[in-house]
Amino acid sequence: MYMKNQLLKVLLSTLFSLQIPLIHAQKYRFDFQNPEKTIESRVDDLVSRMTLEEKTAQLMFEAPAIERLAVPHYSWWNECLHGIARNGRATIFPQAIGLGATFDTDLMHRIGVAISDEGRAKFNENRKVGYMDRYAGLTYWSPNVNLFRDPRWGRGQETYSEDPFLIAQIGVSFVNGLQGDHPKYLKVAAMAKHYAVHSGPEKLRHEFDAVVSRKDLWNTYLPGFEALVVDAKVEGVMGAYNRTNGEPCCAHPYLMTEVLRKKWGFKGYFVSDCWAIQDFYQGHNIAKNKAEAAGIALNAGCNLNCGNTYPALGEAIQSGETTEQVVDRNLKELLPTRFKLGLFDPIGTVPFDTISGDVVRCQKHIDLSYEAATKSVVLLKNQNNTLPLDPEIRSVFVTGPMAADIQALLANYYGVGDDLRTLMEGIIGNVSNHTAIRYVQGSLMDRPNVNPMDWYSEEAQVADVTIACMGITQLLEGEEGEAIASPTAGDRDYITLPPHQIEYLKLIRQKAKGKKLIVVITGGSAISIPEVHELADAIVYAWYPGEQGGKAVGDLLFGKSSPSGKLPVTFVRSIEDLPPFEDYNMSGRTYRFMEQEPLYPFGFGLSYSSFEYGTIRKNSAIYSEGSPVEIGVDITNNGKFPADEVVQLYLAKKNRATGDPKIALRGFQRISLAAGETKTVRFKLDKKAMAQYDDNGNLRIDKGEYRVYVSGALPIQRSTDLGAPKWAETTIQVK
């Protein structure tokens, strides 16, 4: 009897398994709707059912519905640079350059997770009410991993750093957090932009040719993109507006085919920057009309057109500029992303369909924004321990154009929220009930006061301390059409504070005499402030710190936390220290190639505590391939405050080759230390750390002596002591 029962169970199981294909065949009208089939077969099935007109329409960023096939409308254009942008309420994190200043990959991963949670939640809510317009989808055109090579570039705020290694590490963590680790579905689809050599000038971007050597291309401009494609498996790549070495970046055979698809094995989709293909015939003059431009871009593998050029593909096919087979190829590279997101699967089958709207701006995410802002703020000067302030202070004068300016929190590509903490609110929230506070703006941001009467600076004479909140916002620096207060299309033709702000600080300093002057500066780039350094007792650089930025800065000023941000860009003394803006050669640029002494070096940032770097220990003094050198060093907090330190490892080769950097960041770790605590930090110098790229993008390791530095900032001798910690150093040999 037992054997009969077992045989019956096997028979029933077999019959049931045979019924599954029949059941699913009845359930789904078309094969492409069946989530149990492979993505490749589903895409093939969908493409085979479309007319040519339907196919070309699906290559547009506003992809229309195909009702006869039950294909819904989809808008590919969505933004999440530092939080869900342009789509209602969302948690607003510090701008990307501030996130770079955290040097915290774990934080960036958690931010990516939080943003993708909110993105899925908003998508789920929008789908319920049938709202699927622009900025409501799941294909996010972030992050921006262009190199911030020149502080004049207004969009540099969107990037993480002037250093390719830091960009790669931060970017990979962010993308991994966004896209998730589900074996079948993407949580959201991230994008690496703007591929590949793109960093201003804004005014020329529609016609400009960025000319670079192969050495600079591979060692400076491409590492961030390679890391996102190879390591993070980023789903999308966006081409830049400009040309690179003569070819437009949205139709570049070498960059798009040889490097991206073949060498790196990119399997995702490629999109033009918005209206960039239009530049083919209106700016770059490589095409005579819209149809020819559409054919050139499609043939090169630009799968998706953000703009209005691909409606001319029908004409391009008729005139022989391209073919329907090329259309099919591009569709088959584009459409898998929608399937990976589960957009063709029944609602409820995708695990992220259950993320509800209450996650948007939840307390956990608000706290995360606060943590990010706290870790991003950089203390540039703290003469005679001016900071932290005592909450019981008798009187405070708060002034400056940024003190109550919400725009200073937001930067560009921002969301909106209902709890935006300004700098003034953060300061007021930290003082005692008996503290006298006087606030007046005192100065405009972008131009001298129209009324020359000064009713304000006298307050600095009375108050125990003046906190002057100066700086700029994305109205002065940003993207070409967004920076509405900029006379130079968002770029900066001077890199100081606006001169009238400096004059206001001089007036305050004159009136304050023996009183303390603290300057808090907002901005998305390296502002040259040698005069401010002389005027102020303490300087805090806040970037664009997000919705909780004012609270974070206020808490830092009054000692609830210790500053720990580090500069992801070099602060030069003067614009005269920079090569011409249009020159993309790296010679003389960034800390890796500069000869001039900076005002504040890359990686610099003070703390309320102090750190001692012990002697470097290593497992070998000789590097050989396959046997990495392991580095260990003890870091001690020998101050009175618990604090974070960002431990940085740099390599410098003796007798380096022409065009190689003088010194380069090759590792970093953020650690937390209680007062008096010691921790050992370890690094591994492997092939990736030791190598440079050759002109064909292959890693090579030059023989010779390398100097290894472990420090809290770029290890350079300076004529003025900024209070940075000493560094530990050693040498290794490559035989």
The first and second tokens of residue 522, run together, are: 């907002």
Rounded to an integer, what distance in angstroms lies between the CA atom of residue 448 and that of residue 474?
A: 18
Q: Is 353 a catalytic residue?
A: no
Beta-ladder partners of 681: 633
User: Distance (Å, rounded) from C-alpha 138 to C-alpha 404?
Assistant: 34
| Contact predicate 195/238, CB 8 Å | yes
726 within 8 A of 613, measured Cβ to Cβ: yes
Task: Tell me how far apart the alpha carbons of residues 100 and 665 are, in angstroms, rounded to a whole number.
Answer: 14
Rounded to the nearest 5 percent, the helix, strand and coil shares of the chain are 35, 20, 45
**β-pair partners for 244:** 210, 247
Count other Cβ atoms within 10 Å, centred on residue 617: 14
Provide CB contacts within 8 A for 218, sequence distance 6+.
693, 694, 695, 697
C-alpha 401/C-alpha 455 separation (Å) is: 15
CA distances from residue 24 to 33, 43, 45, 212, 555 in whole angstroms, order as listed = 10, 18, 16, 55, 59
Which residues share a beta bridge with 236?
Answer: 191, 269
Nearest to 669 by CA among 164, 226, 219, 107: 107
**CA triplet 70, 75, 76: central angle to 5 degrees?**
115
With beta carbons less than 8 A apart as the criterion, state whether 395 and 435 touch: yes
Tokens of 367: 């706290």
Torsion of CA 209, 213, 218, 223, to 10 degrees: -50
Annotated catalytic residue: which of 273, 279, 537, 644? Answer: 273
Rounded CA-CA distance 277/53 in Å is 20
Active site residues: 273
